[in-house]
Amino acid sequence: MGADDHRWQGPAAGALSELEARVTYELDCLSFPEASWVPEVFDTNGQRAGAVLVVGGGQAGLATAFALKREGIHDVTVVDRNPSGREGPWINFARMLTLRTPKYLTGPDYGIPSLTFRAWFECQHGASAWEALQRIPTPMWMDYLLWFRKISGVEVSNGVELADCRGTLSGLVEVKLQSAGTSRSAVFRHVVLANGMDGGGCWYTPPEFTRPLPRSAWAHTSDPIDLEMLRGCRVAVLGAGASAFDAAAAALDHGATVDLYFRRAGLLKVEHRAWLEQAGFLRGFGALDDRQKWAVMHRLLSLGAPAPESAVARVIGHASFSMHAGTGWIETAYRDGRIQITTSAGPREADFAIFGTGARYDLSMRPELASVAPLAARWCDRFTPDETQRADEVGLYPYLGRGFELLERVQGQAPWIKRIHLFNYAATPSVGVSGSSGTGLKTGLQRLVGAIIERLYVDSFDRHLAAMPWPSQSTSPGES
Ligand SMILES: Cc1cc2nc3c(=O)[nH]c(=O)nc-3n(C[C@H](O)[C@H](O)[C@H](O)COP(=O)(O)OP(=O)(O)OC[C@H]3O[C@@H](n4cnc5c(N)ncnc54)[C@H](O)[C@@H]3O)c2cc1C
């Protein structure tokens, strides 16, 4: 198995059994799962309220459910609208050959070494293969997550979609869950939205460029794309981020000719990932004041996200690839089965267009949050930046509390929304980290789980106090 060898054959079952025995032993040593301590709660209509609903069975959802169980919160329901084994982007629309982040990042393991990707990899391929591994092949990461799901005992209800959530009279959260055309409602004390990179908004395509085109003539990089259909076609890719280059490479691998367009004069070179990966930022960002947080976000946006060198290297020099820097699109049209693109460098043509235009963050764009979005505070409701640091799109991000919880736009209007935790990329301006990156998962998880524990305990404190033994009749405080 050489470095970056992509011919991943899937996990080696035999070798894994030893590791699984070790995991079981270690969890036992850690008295996993902790004894349950969360008392049952019923809503005013007598319906039992689950303790926590986790929306999303990807890395963040699995890790959250496991971590809650470790802390004695067993009443956790995890749903995912995707079929089992197809959670997240990894084998759906992630077209990079390897993860973009370093192999040593941990996260779902919640601090248990034998649950890390490294332990899982090494027990199958040995330490020298680990040393030789540069980055984690993307399908392999998915297999690791499926193994983690199995060994951590997290149950996911697949094919179940969160369709709506709103407050109940008793201040809890009522959700509507849809599956196989039927829907049911349920009540929860906390809802964790571990619903992916776009979970606090949506993947974005510029409507002025897509409106003139038939839907069959374009895709966003987050869409499934029939790459074989592009063989012999001219493909126009808009964007210069990681996903744009990955889509270009995948189209080239399937025999297309690719033009990649972006407005900037050249590729971004400044790599700021290392700055984001230091513990100070990961743990301390949430404690900054709004002006400081905004300064970081404004800088991050100005920096942009450079495409990884490996993604650029995959296409640069390819005979059928052309990169058009400083070439913005002005408008599109569709004539005689072809896409006509008016660019700042003149007219261009293509058979298919791929938009590597990322996502926008605004809760009102999320159908399942339609009832919540008007009630939730956004950055523009709480902070006005200096004119020099204006960034209107950051203003639309939700303004979250330190436990990733939504906050009320108008005090007293919807206290229940504090029971909804946004554990995805939209949390970045408020908390810095989230489940939506391997980098932030580890520290974000501790912050999220800590906040849910505190709230569940405080909410049911009277019950805990009532359950606390009383001193026998004869003794009074301090008397031994
Ligand atoms: C193309 C791509 C490449 C990336 N590469 C890297 C990388 O190399 N390294 C890194 O650290 N990070 C990377 N990231 C960022 C991040 O780590 C991933 O997005 C990761 O998948 C986030 O995990 P998650 O569990 O938060 O979300 P996901 O893995 O996306 O899982 C979210 C799940 O929520 C489900 N869901 C969404 N809405 C609902 C709903 N309403 N009801 C029910 N289920 C719902 C979805 O079906 C999905 O399965 C990448 C992201 C993308 C998009």
Atom 44 (ligand 1) nearest CA: 80
Give the span between the Cα atoms of 86 and 304, in whole angstroms: 29
- Which ligand 1 atom sits closest to the C-alpha of 61? 25
Which residue out of 66, 77, 80, 101 has the highest number of ligand 1 atoms within 8 Å of its CB and is therefore the one to mutate? 80
Report strand pairing: 182-193 vs 201-203: unpaired
Q: Is the CB of 98 under 6 A from ligand 1?
A: no
Which residues, including other chains, have CB under 8 Å from residue 249's CB and lie 6 or more apart? 95, 311, 314, 315
Q: At what angle are helices 117-125 and 138-152 packed, to 10 degrees?
A: 110
What residues does each domain of the chain span?
Answer: 7-200+361-463, 205-269+306-357
Report strand pairing: 173-179 vs 182-193: antiparallel
Domain 205-269+306-357 in the same topology as domain 7-200+361-463: yes
394 is written with which tokens?
Answer: 């950051």
pLDDT digits (tens, 9 = 90+) for 392-407: 999 999 999 999 999 9
pLDDT at residue 81, as a whole number: 98
Other C-beta atoms lying within 10 Å of the C-beta of residue 231: 10
Residue 221 Cα to ligand 1 midpoint, Å, equals: 14
* Residue spans of the chain under pLDDT 50: 1-7, 9
pLDDT at residue 11, as a whole number: 58
Q: Is the CB of 447 under 6 A from ligand 1?
A: no
Q: Is the CB of 430 under 6 A from ligand 1?
A: no
Q: At what angle are helices 138-152 and 13-29 packed, to 10 degrees?
A: 50
Q: What is the DSSP string of 403-470?
A: TSBB-BSSTTS-GGGGGEEE-SGGGHHHHS--SSSHHHHHHHHHHHHHHHHHHHHHHTHHHHHHHSPP
Give the span between the Cα atoms of 461 and 249, in whole angstroms: 56
Which residues, including other chains, have CB under 8 Å from residue 111's CB and lie 6 or more apart? none
Can you name the CATH fold of 7-200+361-463? FAD/NAD(P)-binding domain (3.50.50)
Which residue out of 90, 96, 106, 195 has the highest number of ligand 1 atoms within 8 Å of its CB and is therefore the one to mutate? 195
CA atoms within 13 A on the CB side of 128: 2
Q: What is the DSSP string of 233-294?
A: -EEEEE--SHHHHHHHHHHHHTT-EEEEE-SSSS------HHHHTSHHHHHHGGGS-HHHHH
CA atoms within 13 A on the CB side of 58: 27
Report strand pairing: 257-261 vs 234-238: parallel
Residue 198 Cα to ligand 1 midpoint, Å, equals: 8
pLDDT digits (tens, 9 = 90+) for 260-276: 999 999 998 777 777 88
8 Å CB contact between 439 and 276: yes
pLDDT at residue 438, as a whole number: 81
Residue 474 Cα to ligand 1 midpoint, Å, equals: 59
Q: pTM for the whole thing?
A: 0.94
8 Å CB contact between 361 and 201: yes
Q: Is the CB of 135 under 6 A from ligand 1?
A: no
Residue 193 Cα to ligand 1 midpoint, Å, equals: 11
Residue 59 Cα to ligand 1 midpoint, Å, equals: 7
* Nearest by Cα to 92 from 246, 232, 306: 246
Q: Is the CB of 79 under 6 A from ligand 1?
A: yes
**Architecture of domain 205-269+306-357 in this structure:** 3-Layer(bba) Sandwich (3.50)
